[in-house]
Structure 1
């Protein structure tokens, strides 16, 4: 499953864990509270890992785009320069969307 899927699974775990923790609070069940909190934290960690992978992918796209832009400059190839700029911007957007 891709990073979006991992983020969704993480959010589901987070919500489930929060609900279980609250139910444990209501029932004064410390074990349920602890299990719920652990599940919630696991979900948050899964989401952060998926976002980190996307940020890394965005940084790779930025670097690749920058290299393509420089190559286009050296070869005096405007299309390659433009493609490099576009790829660099795509990577920047991907990285920023996953802060």
Structure 2
């Protein structure tokens, strides 16, 4: 998570709270920008290989799969750079915390 400006640790369970100490300060660094640019360049290269290969060949299929995986990597890195909380997206699937459950039972 080096260079990730919006890393969240709110979805970690209580027994894994110590992992929050490994997440550094939330600031954008050139490493994230360079990673996105590098993966995007590799994605374009894989796409060119897929387009240059004969249709239906193993080289085309392999390059197409690599293009798809690299494109997903670019998308993942972009999501790490965007300012939104992943807890909002996946919070509905998490079990309720003990503190919140104890107050609703009273």
The two structures have a TM-score, normalised by structure 2, of 0.45
> Which structure: larger Rg?
1
The two structures have a TM-score, normalised by structure 1, of 0.48
Higher RCO by CA contacts (8 Å cutoff, separation 6 or greater)? 2
